[in-house]
Structure 1
Amino acid sequence: MDDLNWDKVETIIDEVLSLPEEKRYTYIEETCGHNQRLKDEVTQLVESIFDSEGWLKDLKDHKHEFYDDVSEDLKSLSSTQDFVGQQVGSYTIKEKIGQGGMGLIYLAEHTDDNFSHQVAIKIIRDGQATKTNIQRFRREQRILASLNHPGIAQLYDGGIIDKETPYIIMEYVCGIPITKYCRKHNCSIEKRIDLFKQVLEAVRYAHENLVIHRDLKPDNILVDESGQIKILDFGISKLLEDEHNLSLTKTGARLLTPKYAAPEQIKETNITTATDLYSLGVIFYELLSNRPPFDLDDCTTYQAEQIILNQAPTKPSSRCSDNHLSEALRGDLNAIALKAIRKEPNQRYRVATEFLEDLNNYLKGLPISARTDSFQYRSYKFIGRHKQSLTAAAFIFILIIGLTGFYTWKIAEERNHARVEAQKAENISNFLLTLFESSHPSNSGPEDITARELLQEGRQKADQIIDEAMQANMLSVIGQAYAKLGYRDSALTILNQSKDLIKRTHGQESLEYATINFDIGNTYDVYADLALPFYQKSYNIRSELLGKNHLRSAESLLQIGKTHNNLGNTDSARYYLERSEDIIAKSTTPNPSIELEVDQEIARLYYYSKDYQKAEEAYLELLSRPKDNLQTDSLAISRWNQNLAWVYIRQQQFDKAVPYLEKALLITESLLGKGHEKTLKARNDLAGVNSDLGNLERFQSLSEENIEYTIEQYGNTHKMTCQANSAYGLQLTLYKIFDKGEKYLRQALEICSSAMGSNHIWTAFANAALSANLEFNNKPEASLKYFNEGQKIFKNNSAKLNRVNKRQISILLRLYNEVDPSSKDRIESYSNLLAEDDS
């Protein structure tokens, strides 16, 4: 680049960016003339810009940042390394088949005497291996590895070439973009919808596994010769669980394809599952009409953005040149396509399931959610479904009257039968739960049988029941009782046994199957990422069998919203909670219990949205309600006290939090016992606030009580005991109570090694925590030993780091920064672990 004039290069590129695609290279040829060096550099830079899965905005304002990011030496950009013929693992690269903004894609082959196998290998191309791009590349590798669906290209392997160039080996997909496939085979509307439903199923699977694609477009959705779709390139997708690192954008460069980008991507605001649904909506529109909703080919970047943000799309039917096709699209298909590309995320399809439901209803001739729900519309759909048999108006009238009378009688009969069955199940459940509660430790004398012993006896009796349906019901109740007593692992084992029986006796689309999924989701509780798919499954079944406006459907939506609350996805939480609240408000059957749960979840939503004033008002209102319909010291009241305390803690008003935490602890101790998981949490919160207020004696007393009761509840070799010792030891270290802290940290290390093994991440953290304590206490040799051991385990487990581990490492960083900021090597080491996890 040294012998080139950057201003001249920039001027040419500025002009090229404003030209339509077919005129760009002609302009470069004419402008550069015989200067081959200049022509090569401009061409390479333009290709990098448009291949980077996005366009640059305001290039002049960001030219140096872009130039540095693309390559420190522009010369290297034009001399990209050729990997053809090179060996990568057990594969030989045969030919280049494609490229993206940072990756070259090759066809490679594994051939020996036993078999021959073709794969696609993606490699960061020479000049693009910046730290940021390598992090994105590694993220793509991890995301693809976590997805296993027939509609998503599979990841086989990955590694590093020449110690600096990452690669991934992926399934080779021999196919063409879905839009080209439909045009080439002249697919019917029904065939196009069937293909698109495959896409929605794959995207739904990815969303349920907490992955957003963020760059869905026809080139990333291929159809092979058998008609199977494959979604490619998750290189710029975002894990939903990584809620606090929403943006992968850089100033001046957005990783998106404008033609299929949602308005929120253009505005660089919050990305959600609805963003992918918008891109799919554009693709669906194009599949229907053979044209996109907006003509952007001759637009500048700014003009394209303004159209996407401000211009209302016309109906797909009005974009068709074929009158027959245009007629077929009128009505439902127009409505579905336009709903999918609404500019407001909360007005379009929020989850793939909703999009699928409307397409399935269209194919069945049923009403769709995208149309106005009027009597005239529903009547029209009914007649359309039965037009072969309805030959005269008189027959229509008689049929409607007859069907109405028959189904009214049938529904009433089934409802009465369901009530009898529900009452029978409720009587059994109530009897068992009452029996379990009567044996609760808080109600039992020293000679009484314990609740856990009674549960074990109940499980043994349940295993002897011959009727599998009844056995499933009994196991479900026993599993819930285990969960209520805080034995989550045992509860999940029993509930999954019940689930298998229900699957065999009632099927996977039954209300019983929906209920057991709901109960398993409840048992996971705070492990929201694990609970979410079970709640989603329960909603899918209930809404299909009972209808979307049924209270049971609302109950599942409520729990989905609650789970998104726990994950920090406040937009998604608000969406599901408002849907649930709307169904409950319209219900003719009052249900104070579920109404109360929605109210308290909305209070939590305010808290997670950091609207602390509204959260405080909501919790105070809940606590002020009459207790006529509530147990005075119920767990709900305990939760409200605890949550209100956290509203004050977040505002550093620790003194205000104390009385509410004291109340919460008193209630949970009296109802659940001193060693229950919820009681341990309440006591731990109270200890933390006393620590923040400088009440060290009270802090130590509560923390040591917690360790004592944790051992009583879980034993001395359980991960919960390890965590309690570790957290307390670290806090003592922060207060420079080193010897006592060392004692608890050594106990934590011993328990972790015994309970989870010497190569577990928690064991790594226990080593690291003990190392920090020893270093601060002037024991450098012993400290180094445990530090090295922890580092070795961390490196062996780097791919398994999760948010809990990330918080643990953040605590270590806080310790070093507050107690001994001179430990540069250790601060850097733990910072790198966090950076790799973020990537």
Structure 2
Amino acid sequence: MDPSPDPIIEIFNEALGLASSERAAFLEGACGGDAVLLQRLLDLLRSHEGSEGFLDEPVLLLRGGDARVAPIGESAGDLVGRYKLIEQIGEGGCGVVFLAEQQEPVHRQVALKVVKPGMDTRSVIAQFESERQALAMMGHPHIAQVLDAGATDAGRPYFVMELVRGKKITDYCDEHSLTLRGRLELFVQVCHAVQHAHQKGIIHRDIKPSNILVSTTGEGMPFPKVIDFGIAKATAGQQLTDKTFFTAFEMLIGTPTYMSPEQAALKSVDLDTRTDIYSLGVLLYQMLTGAVPFEVRELFNAGLDEVRRDILEKQPLRPSSRLKSLSTGDLEKVAERRQLDPARLSKSVRGDLDWIVMKALEKDRSRRYPTANALAMDVLHHLANEPVNARPPSAAYQLGKLVARNKVLAGSLGVIAVLLVSSLAVMATLFAKEQEARRRADAEKRTALTMAMKSKRVTKVLMDMLVSVSPGVAMGRDTTILRELLDKTDTRITGTLDQHPESEAELRFALGMGYREIGDVESAERMLKRSAELYRKVSPHLDRELGTVLNRLVFLQLNQGKIVEAEPEVLFLQELWRSWPDKEEQEVSKSLEALAMLRWRQGQLGEAEDLMRRVHTWRREHLGATHQDSITAMGNLASILYAGKRYAEADPLFHQVLTESEVKYGPDHPELSGPIWNLFTVSIASGKTAEAKSYLSRVVELRRKYLEPSHPHRADAIVRLGDMNVSTGDRAEAEALYREVIASGRKDPDDYVPVLKAIERLTSNLKQWGKLEEADAVFSGILTPAYCSSPRCVPVLKMRTEFLARAGRWREAAADAAKLIEFQPEEHEYYHTLAPLLVAEGRNEDYRKLCAEIIRRCHEPTDIFIADRMAKDCLIRPDALPDLERVALFADAVFRQGEGYDQWPLFQVLKALSDWRQMKFAEAAALAGKVDHSNPHAKVAALAIQAMAAFRQNEGARARAYLAEGDALFEAKLPKLASADLGQDWRDWIIARELLSEARALAEAGRE
């Protein structure tokens, strides 16, 4: 059978959009070695090129093999509503996507999708509007957002989306050589986006790599966006549009490679969200192995019926087996892109990941993961080395599949089964032995039950003991004893309660709550995770206990900002409580509270407020106003209002929380610390400084009384009070507070944030107060030779480097920066610190060597801020350019992408400096002249470049005028070296001064 025309057309149209030099490689990859398919496509392309001029209108090859003259439609430069079309960036069967520029009320670039002329039939418009409505219903950071909609002058509908700049997810993973962990974490984010769509009642139906674009955030992290809901389908009860959208009977919708069996069965009316789970499984398969379950070339060479038959009946290889089937060269390439050797790659995929993928790819959708979040949770369980829910198919299930595929063989097996019946007589003699073994097993079971009851009693005693010494109960006691008890209990029960997982789960929960009380959130989270893992292993009848543990765990994670980790557990809790026939409303309220907190952390304040009001209302009605859960709900509601800057509404609620807490606990109880802290924050936000300081002083007083000196809540409050004393001019009190925190810190302050804050605040203020020797002494007291012998000193060493550099102490700062590079040679920020310091110190040979190292390590950075730093570092001086051409490419990339950022003047200077180093004097001068005065460092550097360019163009008078203006601006607007604080822009200060010096040298040479 001839290849199905649709794939040929897709490849043909995509090849048309490529330059001639790029087509050969593209076609070779797309055809996968199929010579017949490749030849047909080459013939089509040659025919197309040979027909140039035959038609005045552009021709597109349409589905069905027809050639149609493309109707005249929108093009670059046209205005559609308030959007100016820049260029076409995409095209589908019915719509065209343009890069567009919004003119008002804000100026920004967007993506505009409009129905093609001639395609505006009723069914197409209905489909188009269903996509628009589907996207409009979404509110997730990983789904492209709809910004606007309307109709062209010709009446064809369009809608406007955020512009998603990125690469398809598989290309991004390979180009960045993401590890398996990195790929799985990225996949989890995609699952959460799909889950959001499903919760809105939308099935995507075309999940594939090209519909998931990944960009890189400013922090260098991958950020995926799900796009193209063009064939999305509403689930039961949802309506995407009021127009009729008729899907033809037996119409194959979707991309065959990623299509679920139920899609291939042409039963679109029976689709549910699990069809997307299958597509996610294909995507995960490809991200792990570099291949899809069924080869594309096989599908291209098959007719429609064969394609459907493969999807419906053919069992794909497990991912680990697919890796083994690759050629040695291909496997090495796949492994290298995942930063593993081939043997380790296969081993890493075998087991959990095999099971997870194959469960998602089940032909029977009832055996797949029920939700995208369930799939994400299993991936997270694997990453956390926890048991996964996926398991290999049972023997009975595999046997059933075998029978269905091999009816003749099944008949033969039936005959064999008859023969086996006759052998049962032989088994009769073993029956007596079996009965005896069963009696022994029953006796052992009774013994085990007795031991379990004893274990539960011991567990109860230990839990009561842990609670009795909790800081909230044992007011004012030194919690060192509690920490020792917790640590020893953790050590003693590890490995000793393997036969009693329920007892260990209870104890781990108690330990987690104890660690939380003393502020050790890392240990608390570890205990609660282990408790949840054990409850999941034991039995479904312990769902209530599991729910209680997960409630505490997600609140702990949300308070640490671990939104990605907490979200699947929060959503699992919702399903857990709903599944109970006898719902416990108090636990349901806690799960709703957790969901509200999650939405708050995700910035969805409206939904968070609605949920929290429901929780607050229920608790006040059923538990009473003074119940701790009611007070907590009121405080969380106030915090959500505060997050929305609704201070006038939040303030009375915070006051009410404090009043009811005082009634419940008394005026001098540690539980009051939280409500008073909240009143401090809202007072600060409302500009009531004196009132805020009073509240904060009371918090510090309570925490000094009830928390040990190293507790982070105590230390953080003292640092904040020190900051307030600085702002009100009480220097002595502020200094004393900072020193208190530093003295109370743990042995190594590298991972203890309050101590690091105190060091930074104290040294910075001492410098401003003219006490430089005291500031040096603070650093010297911490950065001892022993402490600086390992990377643990990096946070404080980095702080001192910045301190010395801002003070103009170049030599000392450069020594510290070199030490930072020695500890962390992959951290680009440290090179950006050392390069200007070497220039300022005049160490030109060391500077040249550093630039060569920067170029060696700089692997095509995708983050424009990293590219800016690397290029700028290598352009400060004219005699340190080991690879000017490559540095210039970085500068060009920054300039192309940087407009609209606050750093735009500095990006302009970088490009002008790059042109100057390449002796493009006119271009450098023109661009430098466009730099405005919004950033004085950038303007001084630009004037220096203008002066140098004018000197080279023999315009001496103009050059000297630029130089004089630059010198004057440097003196008037930039900090003085004598001030001992050049500010956070000290690097740009050095660059501006160096370029002025270079321009001055040119002027002197011109006079000679």
TM-score (norm 1): 0.50
RCO (CA 8 Å, sep 6+): is it higher in 1 or 2? 1
TM-score (norm 2): 0.42
Structure label with greater radius of gyration: 2
